[in-house]
Structure 1
Amino acid sequence: MSPEPVVFTVASPDPVGGRPADKWSSLDMPAIIKQLTATGVSAPDDQSGELTALVKEAKADGHDLFVLVTDQHFSPFTVYRDIAQELQQTTGGTVLVFGPGGMGTASTDFSRVELEDGTSEVHAGASAPQAAREIYEKAVDPNVNWTLVTIALIVVVVIGAVIARVRGRASVDDGTGPKPAADGTDVDNDATPAT
């Protein structure tokens, strides 16, 4: 009896198909780019004030920040990152995109790891202005360089060992330390003989 043929199921290709920009063709990208280059923000009026303040704060810190908030839902959530990357090619700096289905980032100022750390720490249910602030503050927050910390600790241990060794020899030389025996081992001068 021969075994039945094995059948593998492969994920179907993206049903949207075409160029990535086709996924967000409903967005008026030229108008969004115009708003972003003018003010740094393309968002509903009730969120623009807080976001504009954040953009100005980032500018004062030496970072170009651009924030898009859209009410359009895109799937998969990675489309928001694709939109951010598309916008960032025109605006430069750092682009944050927020929508009902997720958020996306792209930057020449911050690494992908720094941005992902920021997005992973956004509080659940945060508004777009709050989320943008959390991402930005995490990205500019100084990170601990563990390589330098490790090197510094090794140097401290080595210096401590050298100092202990030098002090041990100095105490032997000035007569306050244990005197070496004839065979080269240390002898405890304060030891009382066994009776």
Structure 2
Amino acid sequence: MSDKADLIKDVVYKEYERLQGGIDAVVNGSFTDFATLSVFGAMLAWKPITDRLTSTKDTSTSPFILCLGFSTMFVVLAIIATRDLMKQAIVFYAIGELKVYEDALRSSLAPDGQELFRSSSNFGAWFRESFIPISTHFRLLVVGLSLSFPLVILWPRSRRAAAGFIGVAAVCLAVYISALSQFFALTHKVIGP
């Protein structure tokens, strides 16, 4: 009977390691993925690039080229941000599954209630107390600068171009906020309110 119990423990622990490794890979990939920062950097460089591409004699097209560039970059930024939410949702799914394995390992390896295998159990408090405040500041910084920088450049040149950018940004933000609300609904299922 002991051999079978040991085999079950080994299988459970290997699956636990596999899930934990997947979570680590997604998290590490998020820190090495500089796509958001690249798009933001391109937004900052778009004005000088546009000045080079457009003729100094024909200033009427410049605001619309600027608007097109800023709008395109904002769309790409929204796509990257939404993709990052999908990555986070995968992590939450894995954490929900991880809890089952942690409970099994804890009951077989630490029946006296030791604090072993508590990553998934402790994740909810850490997520609410640390991650949400920091990520909220990051989102506000990226969105704030990604909206204000193009508007500072577009508004004096063409109110129509600025309005076009605002329209594109509003649609992108609406889609992202919808995805964010669905993400937070998922987090409540996994870690509670």
Q: TM-score range by the shorter chain?
A: under 0.3
Considering fraction of residues, name the structure with more strand: 1
Considering fraction of residues, name the structure with more helix: 2
Instruction: Name which structure has the greater RCO, CA cutoff 8 Å, separation 6+.
Output: 2
TM-score (norm 1): 0.24
